[in-house]
Amino acid sequence: MKKVLFLVMPLLSFTPVLLAQSRGIDYYLDQALRNSPLLKDYQNQVLTNQLDSQRIRASYKPQVAGTSNNMYAPVLNGFGYDNAITNGGNVTAVVGVNQALVSRKNLGTQFETLHIQNQGIENAAKISEQDLKRTIIAQYISTYGSLQQLIFTRGIDTLLTKEERILKILTEKNVYRQTDYLTFLVTLKQQELAVRQLGIQYRNDNATLNYLSGIEDTATTLLQEPALTMNTLPGPEHSVFFRKYELDSLQLTNSRALVDFSYKPKVNLFADGGYNSSLAFEGYKNWGTSFGINITVPIYDGKQKKLQYSKLDIAERTRAGYKDFYKKQYSQQIAQLSQQLKGTEELIGDINQQIKYAEGLINVNVKLLETGDAKIADLVIALNNYLTAKNLLIQNNVSRLQIINQINYWNR
């Protein structure tokens, strides 16, 4: 009797649904990143900030505007506006030019604001990318675990079907009792139901994986074994999560500089040229120009500058609190996951030992069954013990990969 029970059954044997092409984890990650609207949103936000940078530069170039004001104040029978004020009317058509004078340092600070915002957007995109990868990998591992259970359960069902034929013949020859045959048949039917249930579970898990990846495909595909390894564990300061707090610090420093510049004197040059006349006397000569300089010096604003500094100080304390909490959370999370990984790997080793004992016991019972010397109850118990141990092994292998995925999330 060949040890069919302990061989991995070929994928072509368990269901026509799974005759599709096989795909690896990289395929789903690539599709998810390509289809994510959130990541595209972040890319567009960076492009928008680049346009804002150009807009700021354009706002400090000479601003040219044409203005035309035309007014007539009639006086009828001595009733009307005072002609000394209105001149009876006014016609203005001029082109004005305004040029704000700003220091390079001030302009550079405004550009730095957008630069820090872009860095923040890019960092947020990296965090979202890690979140998406973790979700896709977690679902892939779960789906692959369902596939492994389906393959194993189908293999058991195939063996039991073969042994059922032998037992039926021996029962007809009165080697085994009818009750023994029925006991074995119940076990076989339970296994067939388990195969059907796991087939449904695998199709559902596969559909969820497609959904999360943004793949419009209802076909069920085979999944390749996830080649997942644990990345090197860097310090918390080198992760994209910590980068957020560094950028927040730069943003607060830049905001303080913007407050300082908002209280410096502002100089604006202006000039205009065109036609400006009351039409009272020789209106055709009222073509001309004017120019000047406007200077604004802040003197007192009710201590608003101090209040803005206070707001920035509060924001800095909040940022520092979140940063310290993150460093503690990072260390605790990594320690906890590492401990779980170690315990799971040790348990997998113990389960493998248990499976070896169960395999030996089943082999003995299968040989005794073919000679008519086996106790069906003992065989059924041995099969159930083996099924329990094997399913436990699959579950813990899935748990091990999920833990590695969680660790890599913090360090990817």
pLDDT per residue over 134-175, tens digit each? 999 999 999 999 999 999 999 888 888 888 888 888 888 888
- pLDDT band of residue 204 (cuts 50, 70, 90) is very high
* Alpha carbons 9 and 286: distance in angstroms, whole number: 100
Mean pLDDT of 78-88: 78
Mean pLDDT of 250-271: 90
Q: Is the pLDDT of residue 17 over 60?
A: no
Mean pLDDT of 65-74: 87
The structure tokens listed for 29 are: 């990650």
* Listed residue (280, 285, 286) closest to 92, CA to CA: 286
Q: Is the pLDDT of residue 15 over 50?
A: no
Mean pLDDT of 51-75: 87
* Listed residue (406, 227, 279, 272) closest to 330, CA to CA: 406
Q: Is the pLDDT of residue 16 over 80?
A: no
Mean pLDDT of 182-207: 91
The structure tokens listed for 335 are: 């320690």
Q: Is the pLDDT of residue 1 over 50?
A: no
pLDDT tens-digit map of 273-303:
888 887 777 777 888 898 899 999 988 888 8
In the beta sheet, which residues pair with residue 292?
270
Q: Is the pLDDT of residue 256 over 90?
A: yes
Q: Is the pLDDT of residue 2 over 80?
A: no
How much is the pLDDT for 282? 75
Q: Is the pLDDT of residue 12 over 60?
A: no
* Alpha carbons 363 and 358: distance in angstroms, whole number: 9
What count of other Cβ atoms lies within 10 Å of the Cβ of residue 328?
Answer: 10
pLDDT tens-digit map of 333-365:
888 999 999 999 999 999 999 999 888 888 888
> What are the residue ranges of helices labelled H in 75-176?
83-86, 104-172
* Alpha carbons 362 and 268: distance in angstroms, whole number: 94
Any idea what DSSP says for residue 284? G
* Alpha carbons 143 and 395: distance in angstroms, whole number: 12
- pLDDT band of residue 20 (cuts 50, 70, 90) is low
What's the chain's length in residues?
412
How much is the pLDDT for 9? 37
pLDDT tens-digit map of 368-390:
877 777 788 888 888 888 888 99
How much is the pLDDT for 240? 86
* Alpha carbons 94 and 272: distance in angstroms, whole number: 6
* Alpha carbons 161 and 153: distance in angstroms, whole number: 12
| Helix 104-172, helix 178-213: angle, nearest 10 | 160
pLDDT tens-digit map of 295-318:
999 888 888 989 999 999 999 999
Q: Is the pLDDT of residue 96 over 70?
A: yes
* Mean pLDDT across the chain: 86
How much is the pLDDT for 359? 85
Q: Which residues contact 204 (CB under 8 A, 6 or more apart)?
A: none
